[in-house]
Amino acid sequence: MQKSMLESLRSIVQEVNAVDDLQSVLDITVSRVLEAMSTEVCSIYLREPTLDRMVFMATEGLNKDFVGKISMAPEEGLVGQIVSREEAINLEDAAAHPKFFHMPGIGEESFSSFLGVPIIHQRKMLGVLIIQQVQRRRFDEDDEAFLVTVSAQLAGVIAHAQATGAISIGPNNERPKSALFKGLAGAPGIAIGHAVVVTPLADLYAVPFRRCRDPVEELEFFHECLEVVREDIRALGRKLSARLVPEERALFDVYLRMLDDSALAAEVDEKIHQGQWAQGALSQVMRKHINTFEMMEDPYLQERASDVKDLGRRVLSYLQSANTAPVEYPERTVLVGEELTASMLGEVPSENLVGLISVKGSGNSHVAILARSMGIPTVMGAVDLPFTQIEECEIILDGYNGNAYLNPAEELRDRFQLIFDEEQQINKELEALKDFPCVTTDGHRVPLWVNTGLQADIARSLDRGAEGVGLFRTEIPFLLRERFPSEEEQRRIYREQLEAFAPMPVTMRTLDVGGDKSLPYFPIEEENPFLGWRGIRVTLDHPEIFLVQIRAMMKANAGLNNLRILLPMISGVAELDDALSLIHRAHRELIEELGFDLVLPMIGVMVEVPAAVYQARDLAKRIGFLSVGSNDLTQYLLAVDRNNPRVADLYQAFHPAVLQALKKVADDGHAEGRKVSICGEFAGDPAAAILLMAMGYDVLSMNATSLPKVKSVIRGISIEYGKNMLAQVLTMDCGEKIREFMNAALKDSGRGQHRRNGLF
Ligand code: PEP
Ligand code: MG
């Protein structure tokens, strides 16, 4: 019994996943649920947000003529009861319920039993799913549990179909409607531009919808690629024929038959004729067939889905690799992808790139950190964005609030254009602060350093008046290559940084890969990468990589002596001792090798694992300075994946536990006579910077974009004001309240006028 329920659930979800339009999703759902639950009526009501009505959207068993035509207020009837209570209602005699509301004409008079469940997606009430039956009986617990499960699984599919429907071009090619997609603030700023969708290669499920310029040419191209794949398969079949049993050999013939001009290829041809590009046409056809196989009852045939998938991928890779036409980036490109990476950003000419939208990830993901340092407005975690469908769409991106507006109406564009212009003006004003010191009104000096990684960060940082580098993320140049850089290549990269800032200090962090930073040539696949092999754990296991990096840093430092070395992800003294002994060894060996003395740089530890907070004194005793990595420290203290948009609202940078930890590290570091800095994104938030200054942090290191804003705020307050804020905040017990308190305080003191511009 249970197994068949699970099977029905799987097949319903699979079937609806294969269709894109909302009405088909709903129609399939009601008819399959009706079958699976052997009942007489299944209907769906969806909330229409602009009218705020519950619309009768699909039914099996009631009068279909009323579908889409009748609606009720969200609080009306039993549907309203489900909406307001956000839970299931199970009634033996629906008409006897005081909230029962009879909709004339739809034909539900004769049905007594009623079971309805809410459809909720990301805390938002999308609608209600109902089953009914003539015979008076209470649906049992299994029925209720099944319906709740179906609804929970379908909510995401419905939300996605609604989103796709909202932006699709109508049957008469009319202008697509405007739509707002909510995500998370990634990097502040407003961008107005056109979408270019980037997708990983050979993924049939991530091919953007695009029209081809010339269907005849596109067909020719498709058939050329198809012929190459056919020849490949024939060659592979010949090569393996001696080793294969006849049934396995037959598989190659099946593949070839599938690719025959009269089979799958003909379906793809038809879509190309209709104006689609070959990749999109292929992806649609293959996905349909994969789904058909997956839905089959027979396990052998079900398995064939993977053959079709494999075949589809092969053809797609050919189409992709043979498509040598360079991607055209419009003048104002908004790069959109399911999961953007640093190297994808690198493909776009920097003068064309105005904004980024990533379906996955959050404001603390490394790609967002990179975007902030480059000053590119970014929206992360736009989970409902039908990203494959929005190629070339006009987009307004609000990186302050994490909103993306597709196909905006003129008035909206004008409104955002004004904000954009105002923002440019404010930036100009901030630029004027470049040569002024970061000092409070009562003379307390706060050195502001920068976090770097890209080559372009150097100029940006110097332009904004950085006084040093608090964190050079060395993994970034590693990420942009196809193999580990050699010692000499590294030396040159490091020398460039050290020279550009000398005599100002440059803090170079040793390679910090793992987590969400994986090198294409050194992939780390783990169940739980943020708790796995990352940072110092990797480099201590690979001394050959660590030593080369340390040697390159020390050689680059010759004659300049402004290098500091920082060790990431230290969770105990043993790791630190091991790292120190390797550094000392590299130092000794270099002196012997070069024949002249090389200064041993100051060494520091990142405090980003909670254990390091409690061992701050033990760690500090062994080294020259501590630097807090608040991005990771927050995720580990609060047990919130910094990359996961679902829990992004729990990632509270101002959480009292985080503030207490930050204060403890500053106090403990100072108790050992060491300097304490911070290089997490928290330092770049002006409200946070005030608190950190008051805690006694010796250096605040941040992305270059935030630096002038932080400076402007600190120059407007006194240290006394900051200490007073801190004292009040430390008595508060809730991160959200602390953030609100800080925003309000800054606004009151006249520094809130740039709120929208990311100042607070
Ligand atoms: C941090 O964790 O705060 C930090 C600065 O390092 P990263 O963001 O590169 O992990
Ligand atoms: Mg970190």
**pLDDT of 171 strictly over 60:** no
List, as one string, the DSSP characters of 724-748: HHHHHHTT---HHHHHHHHHHHHII
> 632, 634, 681, 703: which to mutate for ligand 1, most atoms within 8 A of CB?
632
**pLDDT of 259 strictly over 90:** no
**pLDDT of 434 strictly over 70:** yes
Centroid of ligand 1 to alpha carbon of 218 (angstroms): 46
φ, ψ (nearest 5 deg) of residue 46: -120, 150
Angstrom distance (rounded) from CA 273 to CA 652: 52
Q: How confident is the model at residue 2 (pLDDT cuts 50, 70, 90)?
A: very low
- For the ranges 317-326, 400-409, 462-471, 586-595, which has the lowest average pLDDT? 317-326
SS3 601: coil
- For the ranges 177-191, 255-269, 386-400, which has the lowest average pLDDT? 255-269
Average pLDDT over residues 33-61: 93
Contact (Cβ atoms closer than 8 angstroms) between residue 401 and residue 185? yes
Centroid of ligand 2 to alpha carbon of 467 (angstroms): 22
**pLDDT of 627 strictly over 80:** yes
pLDDT of amino acid 502: 97
Tokens 């108790």 correspond to 671
What confidence tens digit (pLDDT) does each residue in 204-247 have?
Answer: 888 888 888 899 999 999 999 898 888 888 887 787 777 777 76
Residue 328 carries which DSSP code?
P
Angstrom distance (rounded) from CA 192 to CA 176: 17
Of all helices (H) and strands (E), which one includes residue 238? helix 215-240
**pLDDT of 263 strictly over 70:** yes
SS3 466: coil
Q: Is the dihedral of CA 101, 105, 111, 117 positive or negative?
A: negative
pLDDT of amino acid 324: 72
Average pLDDT over residues 269-278: 91
Query: Which ligand has the minimum distance to the alpha carbon of residue 365?
Result: 1
Contacts of the segment 267-271: beta carbons below 8 A, 24+ positions apart: 268/222, 269/219, 269/222
The token pair at 58 is: 């699909």
Catalytic site residue from 289, 366, 655, 754: 366
pLDDT of amino acid 759: 36
Q: Give the global pTM.
A: 0.83
Three-state SS for 662-728 is HHHHHHHHHHCCCEEEECCHHHHCHHHHHHHHHHCCCEEEECCCCHHHHHHHHCCCCHHHHHHHHHH
**How many alpha carbons fall within 13 Å on the CB side of residue 420?**
18
Ranges of H-type helices in 356-504 = 366-374, 410-431, 456-463, 475-479, 487-501
Angstrom distance (rounded) from CA 587 to CA 565: 13
Query: Which ligand has the minimum distance to the alpha carbon of residue 475?
Result: 1
**How many alpha carbons fall within 13 Å on the CB side of residue 28?**
21
**Mean pLDDT score of the chain:** 90
**pLDDT of 584 strictly over 80:** yes
List, as one string, the DSSP characters of 516-578: TB-BTTB----SSGGGSS-THHHHHH-HHHHHHHHHHHHHHTTTT--EEEEE-S--SHHHHHH
pLDDT of amino acid 59: 96
Q: Which residues contact 525 (CB under 8 A, 6 or more apart)?
A: none
Centroid of ligand 1 to alpha carbon of 184 (angstroms): 19
pLDDT of amino acid 172: 54
The token pair at 103 is: 């909709």
Whole-number percent of the chain with pLDDT over 90: 66
Average pLDDT over residues 508-517: 94
Q: What do you get for the CA distance between the two ends of the chain, in Å?
A: 56
Residue with the bigger pLDDT between 90 and 257: it is 90
Residue nearest to atom 10 of ligand 1 (CA): 632
CA distances from 384 to 475, 508, 647 (A): 31, 38, 15
pLDDT of amino acid 175: 55
Whole-number percent of the chain with pLDDT over 70: 96
Contact (Cβ atoms closer than 8 angstroms) between residue 127 and residue 158? yes
> 365, 367, 369: which to mutate for ligand 1, most atoms within 8 A of CB?
369
The backbone region for 123, taken as left when phi is positive above 0, alpha when psi lies in -120 to 50, beta otherwise, is left
Average pLDDT over residues 132-160: 90
The token pair at 649 is: 């609202």
Residue with the bigger pLDDT between 617 and 49: it is 617
**Count of Cβ atoms closer than 10 Å to residue 739 Cβ:** 19
Residue 579 carries which DSSP code?
H
What confidence tens digit (pLDDT) does each residue in 639-651 have?
Answer: 999 999 999 999 9
**pLDDT of 482 strictly over 50:** yes
Residue nearest to atom 6 of ligand 1 (CA): 629
Catalytic site residue from 160, 393, 679, 754: 679
Most trustworthy range by pLDDT among 3-17, 61-75, 195-209, 255-269: 61-75
Q: Which of 723, 724, 741 is nearest to 732 (CA)?
A: 741
Ranges of H-type helices in 37-173 = 77-85, 141-167
Q: Which of 542, 492, 488 is nearest to 513 (CA)?
A: 542
Q: How confident is the model at residue 169 (pLDDT cuts 50, 70, 90)?
A: low
- Ligand 1 pocket check for 679: Cβ under 6 Å: yes
Angstrom distance (rounded) from CA 724 to CA 440: 14
Q: Which of 211, 315, 327 is nearest to 263 (CA)?
A: 315
Contact (Cβ atoms closer than 8 angstroms) between residue 69 and residue 96? no
The token pair at 469 is: 């580098």
The token pair at 198 is: 């980037």
- For the ranges 94-98, 110-114, 320-324, 736-740, which has the lowest average pLDDT? 320-324
**pLDDT of 67 strictly over 90:** yes
- Ligand 1 pocket check for 677: Cβ under 6 Å: no
Residue 277 carries which DSSP code?
-
**pLDDT of 754 strictly over 60:** no
Q: Which residues contact 411 (CB under 8 A, 6 or more apart)?
A: none
Alpha-carbon torsion angle 747, 748, 753, 754, nearest 10:
-30
Distance of CA 533 to the CA centre of its chain: 21
- Ligand 1 pocket check for 338: Cβ under 6 Å: no
What confidence tens digit (pLDDT) does each residue in 101-120 have?
Answer: 877 888 888 899 999 999 99
Q: Which of 339, 331, 367 is nearest to 197 (CA)?
A: 339
Centroid of ligand 2 to alpha carbon of 147 (angstroms): 43
pLDDT of amino acid 355: 97
pLDDT of amino acid 436: 95
670 catalytic residue (yes or no) = no
**pLDDT of 136 strictly over 60:** yes
Q: Which of 316, 318, 319 is nearest to 290 (CA)?
A: 316
**pLDDT of 412 strictly over 70:** yes
